[in-house]
Amino acid sequence: MTLYTPVKAIFKPSQQRGRDVAVYVLPEDPDLCMEFSFKRFNSQGNIASYVCTACRALKDRAPRLYGVVPTVRVQNGYFVSDPTCTDHPHFCEPRNYPRSMMRREIIAKFNQIRENLDDAGTPEEVEEDLLQAINKPEYAHFGDEERQEMVKQLVMGHIGGRDTLRSMIRTNKKAKRRRTQFEYPDAEPPPPPPKFARTIKQEIQEPVHDYVHLQHHTPPLLPTPSPSPSQPPRTHTFILKEAHCSKPVMTPAPAPSCLGTAEGFSQLLANDSSKSTGLAAIETLLTALENSRATTVNELNKELTEIVNGMARTDHSSTSIRSASDLFRRFITLAPAELLDQRDFSKVLAFYRQRGKIFIERVGKSRGMIARHARPFFRNDMNVLTHSYSKVVLESLVTVHKSGTIVHVWVTESQPDASGRMMYDALRKEGIKATLILDSAVGYLMERIDMVVVGAEGVMETGGIINKEGIVGLPQIGTLNVAICAKTMNKAVFVMAESIKFVKEYPLNQADIPEEFKYRTSVLENGDLSVEHPMVDYTPPQYINLLFTDLGILTPAAVGEELIKLYT
């Protein structure tokens, strides 16, 4: 048996109260210099036990992927066991390991580029700048292919990819052109944006090979003759469905008379079951903004407020309507002071419309971003439990399945509207192994589950969630029960929600939830609340591990900070 020669430990202050950090350094060669930090978790007399903080963080993030976390003993300021942990080797990288240092330099350089996108070039040029940043003698033993692969993995893969970077550069340069237009008002204005609705006279004869929305892709149309006075023109927006057909099946969107109203909002949700309530609310407000004839900011605010109140009076989720509408109105009104001082309000309206289209474009990409954030947390042969029907959870599970990861999804039936059966059918249609279970069987099944994934109707300022209104307006609570069972059995609970569902409410218990969140409008106006069941429940943040959003992966404690950023 080989005895370890004690080596003096270096102690550094810790940010956590009552803890200290011991550092072990092997200063033999700069490329081989290793530095590990150990945090004290147990002490008896003058002997203290430390655990590797980096390994522990990896273990907490993926418990089944890593083994035993390395530990070391320190006595009187000396390591009395091998810090390199030969019995249980480290599965983290040392903090000053050359590969780790090179990664930090790549990410730091990329963050500098993101802060000044006005001068950024193409994604290929950005990649060359990143490679140039790590072209140093201390990294000479890494080959060119290895460096390129690291840049693609760290930046072009995880932080957003080439398409996202290209979109960021394009959006930033558009903003710069708009600022130039405000500074030099005599410059030629940009062309007006295309209208959403198009008058269609001729049927489209070409076969359709995918689901296409004419708001984003419109086939060439022949000019139409002027209609007769007795027969006014009828304008439609069409959604093309059913791939590989000689003539596409066309579903008319709401008539122009009700676009931008509460009636048009309800019709949008009726025509497209995959559209979220928040996205439909934003599209309704954007249409109202396109048709607005307001001459002052106050008039415009009054128009939008009336539309929001009208949507809230429907029996759809008032939580999503309120949060999405507030964030939309906040986003579009972030205008330069020079613009608001102009007397021509049409320029202000044009700016608001442009901002509204940028916002709705970002919201449309939210589910895909959430799916990319959540995909690394899924592994083969995992048992995943989900409650009821959630569009963002469904898209994330489909993305995981298409990436080659095989999981078994257990879906609660979610009575009384049985929306879980709808989720079950959608999963089976995509080829995902799924099992439908009773709501009361969650406790029995929880010991077999690896993680719980749920959606949310609203994310509160506390980091808790409200979930979830029934798809036909019936009570559909139960997320709190699932979360309590998971917490009791030490199972991770992950929430997937778009940032437009962040609500400025701070409930401490179920009684603090506003009445309009818990009951339908028709019930509040005509019903007796003493005999009605609430439609949602509040899951406190202590039962939630992480939230996957389009803003990134957040802890419940970070939600309040993100809300402050969104509203300031």
Q: What is the pLDDT of residues 380-404, one digit of tens each?
A: 999 999 998 888 999 999 999 998 8
pLDDT band of 473, cuts 50, 70, 90:
very low
pLDDT band of 179, cuts 50, 70, 90:
very low
Q: What is the pLDDT of residue 336?
A: 65
Query: Does position 365 have pLDDT exceeding 60, yes or no?
Result: yes
Q: What is the pLDDT of residue 325?
A: 83
Reduced to 3 states (helix: H, G, I; strand: E, B; else coil), residue 319 is helix
Percent of the chain with pLDDT over 70: 63
**β pairing state of 407-412 and 433-437:** parallel
Distances from the Cα of 392 to the Cα of 292, 496, 549, angstroms? 32, 7, 10
Query: Does position 407 have pLDDT exceeding 50, yes or no?
Result: yes
Cα distance between residue 500 and residue 283, in whole Å: 13
Helix and strand numbers, DSSP H then E, in the chain = 19, 20
pLDDT band of 485, cuts 50, 70, 90:
very high
Largest CA distance in the chain: 102
pLDDT band of 278, cuts 50, 70, 90:
confident
Dihedral of CA 96/102/105/110: which sign? negative
Q: Calculate ∠ Cα 551-554-556, nearest 5°.
A: 130
Q: For 247-364, give the CATH class.
A: mainly alpha
Cα distance between residue 565 and residue 560, in whole Å: 9
Higher pLDDT, 88 or 29: 88
The structure tokens 């799924």 sit at 434
Query: Does position 2 have pLDDT exceeding 60, yes or no?
Result: no
Q: What is the pLDDT of residue 476?
A: 58
Can you give the three-state secondary structure of 464-501, one letter per residue?
Answer: CEEECCCCCCCCCCCHHHHHHHHHHCCCEEEEECCHHH
Give me the mean pLDDT over the 10-20 stretch. Answer: 62
Other Cβ atoms less than 10 A from the Cβ of 374: the count is: 22
CB 529 within 8 A of CB 436: no
User: What DSSP designation does 558 have?
Assistant: G
Query: Does position 24 have pLDDT exceeding 80, yes or no?
Result: no
The structure tokens 């943040």 sit at 541
Higher pLDDT, 447 or 524: 447
Start-to-end CA span in the chain (Å): 63
Cα distance between residue 532 and residue 524, in whole Å: 10
Reduced to 3 states (helix: H, G, I; strand: E, B; else coil), residue 339 is helix
Q: What is the pLDDT of residue 90?
A: 76
Q: What is the pLDDT of residue 540?
A: 92
Query: Does position 327 have pLDDT exceeding 80, yes or no?
Result: yes
User: What DSSP designation does 194 have?
Assistant: P
pLDDT band of 370, cuts 50, 70, 90:
very high
Query: Does position 17 have pLDDT exceeding 80, yes or no?
Result: no
CB 58 within 8 A of CB 376: no
pLDDT digits (tens, 9 = 90+) for 503-520: 888 888 888 887 777 776
Query: Does position 225 have pLDDT exceeding 60, yes or no?
Result: no
Cβ neighbors of 102 (< 8 A, separation 6 or more) are: 134, 139, 142, 147, 150
Question: What CATH number has the domain spanning 367-566?
Answer: 3.40.50.10470
Q: What is the pLDDT of residue 505?
A: 84
Query: Does position 150 have pLDDT exceeding 80, yes or no?
Result: no
CB 404 within 8 A of CB 373: no
Cα distance between residue 434 and residue 412, in whole Å: 11
Higher pLDDT, 113 or 472: 113
Percent of the chain with pLDDT over 90: 17
The structure tokens 């903003």 sit at 175
Higher pLDDT, 258 or 229: 258
pLDDT band of 186, cuts 50, 70, 90:
very low
Cβ burial 460-496 (10 Å sphere, 16+ → b, else e) = bbbbbbbbbbbeebbbbbbbbbbbbbbbeeebbbbbb
C-alpha count within 13 angstroms, C-beta hemisphere, residue 452: 27
Cβ neighbors of 6 (< 8 A, separation 6 or more) are: 75, 78, 79, 80
Q: What is the pLDDT of residue 509?
A: 84
The average confidence (pLDDT) of the chain is 72
CB 350 within 8 A of CB 286: no
Give me the mean pLDDT over the 50-69 stretch. Answer: 75
- Phi then psi for 295, rounded to 5 degrees? -115, -5
Backbone angle region of 260, left / alpha / beta, with phi > 0 → left and psi within -120 to 50 → alpha: left
Higher pLDDT, 515 or 165: 515
Q: What is the pLDDT of residue 245?
A: 37
Q: What is the pLDDT of residue 214?
A: 32
> Which own/partner contact pairs does 252-260 have at CB distance under 8 Å and 24+ positions apart?
256/197, 259/197, 259/284, 259/287, 259/291, 260/284, 260/285, 260/287, 260/288, 260/290, 260/291, 260/307
Can you give the three-state secondary structure of 393-415, one letter per residue?
Answer: HHHHHHHHHHCCCCEEEEEECCC
Query: Does position 538 have pLDDT exceeding 80, yes or no?
Result: yes
CB 552 within 8 A of CB 373: yes
pLDDT band of 231, cuts 50, 70, 90:
very low
Query: Does position 292 have pLDDT exceeding 80, yes or no?
Result: yes
Give me the mean pLDDT over the 148-176 stretch. Answer: 58
Q: In this predicted structure, which of 148-157, 224-233, 267-276 has the lowest mean pLDDT? A: 224-233
Q: What is the pLDDT of residue 140?
A: 72
Give me the mean pLDDT over the 271-278 stretch. Answer: 75
Query: Does position 447 have pLDDT exceeding 50, yes or no?
Result: yes
pLDDT digits (tens, 9 = 90+) for 293-315: 888 888 888 888 888 888 877 76
Cα distance between residue 556 and residue 100, in whole Å: 29
Tokens for 122, please give them: 């193409």
Query: Does position 477 have pLDDT exceeding 50, yes or no?
Result: yes
